[in-house]
Structures are given as structure tokens and as C-alpha cells.
């Protein structure tokens, strides 16, 4: 089969830990062709969505990890599947890409994750569909409402709705002298909606990334443990990733979400769980394949390519 991956610029990818690279290595090892597309080249013309695509040879070397052919124009229908793996920010250009991919899908192209599902699943707000699974939460833009929430819970996490990697995530206590300016900055003085959640002390044991692939739950989570003096466990913020078997509550949350998200066309999702609470649902480019595989020998990329092959054969 021919699989096209929409990626960040290849020379910016850190192959030693990148989940997309793990996917491509696994696909190539099974004899599939692997192609790379840069999102800016997506275009509608002559009745179809096209892109500049390069055939890749993917190596095990983490520095010199790929060889790419000269990009050639191709309709997306030339591929058995197109896998959208570009990182956020989820801005209007990302949204435009989902619209184009949706047109390709309407023409018979298999696109994963489903572009409409990606567009409709806010990685922060999607948890609101499952209120019994989440911590005490407020979504608002009015500073007065946010201040009242902080006053009530006493210790809160505030974050923008479009961030990733722990960017602009603040812990704000009731007596924090910077409380007002943090609320003003995040809401742009009341014109930008943000999320506030009660602080979960269980973050000290890690922000657990649990992967859902093809409706199945990967049996290991990556607990991203904050470095000393931090409240963010994100690996991008210096957290340490420790793979561990799922606990009973992890299995309950993941088992509930896996079939629901899969039915919506989300072949791959990464849910974040702190303690007993669901905090995010990641659908754009979920990661942690490599860390889980290295620490447990469970072949996460293999499970993903299994699901991709099944989806293409359906």
C-alpha cells in the first residue's frame, strides 16, 4: 500500500522520539510505500485535492533518518491512505487543511484522522461531553467568572484553548499576587475564552497519556512527571516520561472513550488523565509511541499500522 503522511518539515522532526517516524518505520518494514506531504502544498485543482509528495526511505539512524525523492504533484487519491500528522497550533490554516482533506475524503480518499472529527473535537473542550470523568471545570472569558472560580476552588489551573505542550498553562492559587494579571493576560482582558480546572495534586504522580488506536486501548500509559518546581508534566516542559500499566480508573475512562471516538473516525486519539480525571482528548498528532515502546517493548506503532491496514481494507 501507499501511505502519505502530512508532516512538519522533515528536517525539524526529532526522529529519536517522534511517533510519526515510528509509524513510517513500521509501515516501511511491512513493505508499504511511505510518502511525505507538507501541509502548505495541499491544493484543490482540476476537480481533486492535490499535494506535492516525496517518496521516503526511512532509516533507523536518528540523525540521518530519511532520504526523500524530489516532490511530485499527486492527487491524494493516488494513495491508499493519507495520515494527517502535523502538529498544532490549530489555527485557520489547520482548519483550511481539514476542509481540503474533507473534500478529498468525499472523493473517496481515506483520511485519518477523519478531518471533520478533528475539526469538531477541540482538544481542550471535548472533555465537556464526559462530565462525570473530568475535574471541576469552568470555560469562560469573563474575568469575574474566572476569579470567582479561583476563589471557590482555591487552587486552579488556567490554560488557553489552543495551546500545546504546556504552553501558557498557569497554576493560580487564591492568594497568588499575580492572579489578576494572569487572568487578564490569558483572556486578553476578557475577549478570549479559556479553561479553568481545579488543581489536581495527583499531577505529582504524572499526567498520563493513554493511547486509543482503532478502538483499542494501549495497555500502557506514559506518565509525564513534572520536574521539581513545575506543575506541568508535558515532555516539552521538561517532564519525565515513565511508562506504566493502566490502573483500574485509567481502563474505565479509556474503555468508555475508545469505541466512541473510533466510531467518529478518530483512528488514533491520546487522552490525558491526571489521577482519576480526564483532562484532555488529543486528536491532531498524539505522541508517546516511542517512549512507551522503548520502556515496555509493546509495539505501539505496530498496533497503529494494524489499524490503518484494517481501515484501508474495509
**Catalytic-residue membership of 282:** yes
Question: Of 102, 207, 272, 291, which is the active-site residue?
Answer: 272
Which distant-in-sequence residues (6+ apart) come within 8 Å of 73 by Cβ? 50, 51, 52, 53
DSSP state of 128: G
Instruction: Check if 280 is active-site.
Output: yes
Q: Which of 102, 113, 119, 282 is catalytic?
A: 282
Active-site residue, selected from the candidate residues 102, 280, 291, 309: 280
- 232 is an active site residue: yes
**Set 25, 159, 179, 208: catalytic member:** 159
Block residue for cell numbers 473517496? 108
Of the candidates 209, 234, 250, 291, the residue annotated as catalytic is: 209
Helix 289-296 with 19-29: angle, nearest 10 deg:
70
Grid coordinates belonging to 240: 519525565
Name the catalytic one among 224, 234, 291, 309. Answer: 224
Active-site entry in 124, 234, 250, 291: 124
Task: Tell me whether residue 162 is exposed, middle or buried, using C-beta atoms within 10 angstroms of its C-beta: 0 to 12, 13 to 18, 19 or more.
Answer: middle
Instruction: Please tell me the distance from the alpha carbon of residue 102 to that of residue 128, in angstroms, as a whole number.
Output: 25
The set of residues, in sequence order, having a beta carbon less than 8 Å from that of 31 and lying 6+ positions away, is none
Is 209 a catalytic site residue? yes
Alpha-carbon distance of 221 to 292, in angstroms, equals 7
* Among 232, 234, 250, 291, the one annotated catalytic: 232
C-alpha span between 148 and 55 (Å, rounded): 55
Residue 132 bears catalytic tag:
no
272 noted as active-site residue: yes
Contacts of 240 (CB under 8 A, 6+ apart): 224, 225, 227
Q: Which residues does the annotation mark as catalytic?
A: 124, 159, 209, 224, 232, 272, 280, 282
Amino acid at each position: 500500500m501507499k501511505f502519505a503522511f502530512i508532516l512538519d518539515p522533515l528536517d525539524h522532526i526529532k526522529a529519536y522520539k517522534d511517533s510519526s517516524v515510528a509509524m513510517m518505520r513500521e509501515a516501511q518494514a511491512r513493505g508499504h510505500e511511505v510518502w511525505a506531504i507538507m501541509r502548505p502544498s495541499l491544493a484543490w485543482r482540476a476537480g481533486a485535492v492535490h499535494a506535492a509528495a516525496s517518496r521516503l526511505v526511512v532509516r533507523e539512524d536518528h540523525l540521518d533518518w530519511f532520504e526523500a525523492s524530489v516532490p511530485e504533484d499527486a492527487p491524494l487519491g493516488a494513495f491508499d491512505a493519507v495520515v494527517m500528522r502535523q502538529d498544532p497550533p490549530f489555527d485557520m490554516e489547520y482548519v483550511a487543511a481539514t476542509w481540503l482533506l474533507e473534500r478529498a475524503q468525499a472523493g473517496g480518499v481515506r483520511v485519518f484522522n477523519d478531518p471533520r472529527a478533528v475539526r469538531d473535537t477541540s482538544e481542550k473542550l471535548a472533555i465537556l461531553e464526559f462530565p462525570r470523568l473530568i475535574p471541576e471545570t469552568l470555560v469562560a472569558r469573563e474575568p469575574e467568572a474566572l476569579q470567582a472560580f479561583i476563589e471557590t476552588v482555591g487552587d486552579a489551573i488556567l490554560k488557553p484553548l489552543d495551546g500545546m505542550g504546556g504552553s501558557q498553562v498557569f497554576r493560580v492559587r487564591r492568594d497568588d499576587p499575580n492572579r489578576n494579571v494572569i487572568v487578564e493576560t490569558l483572556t486578553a482582558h476578557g475577549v478570549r475564552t479559556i479553561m479553568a480546572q481545579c488543581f489536581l495534586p495527583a499531577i505529582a504522580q504524572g499526567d498520563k497519556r493513554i493511547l486509543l488506536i482503532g478502538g483499542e486501548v494501549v495497555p500502557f500509559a506514559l506518565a509525564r512527571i513534572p520536574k521539581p518546581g513545575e506543575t506541568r508534566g508535558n515532555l516539552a516542559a521538561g517532564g519525565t516520561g515513565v511508562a506504566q500499566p493502566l490502573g483500574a480508573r485509567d481502563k474505565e475512562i479509556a474503555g468508555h472513550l475508545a469505541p466512541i471516538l473510533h466510531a467518529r473516525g478518530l483512528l488514533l486519539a491520546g487522552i490525558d488523565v491526571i489521577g482519576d480525571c480526564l483532562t484532555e482528548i488529543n486528536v491532531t498528532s498524539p505522541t508517546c509511541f516511542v517512549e512507551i515502546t522503548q520502556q515496555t517493548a509493546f509495539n505501539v506503532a505496530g498496533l497503529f499500522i494494524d489499524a490503518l491496514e484494517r481501515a484501508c481494507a474495509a
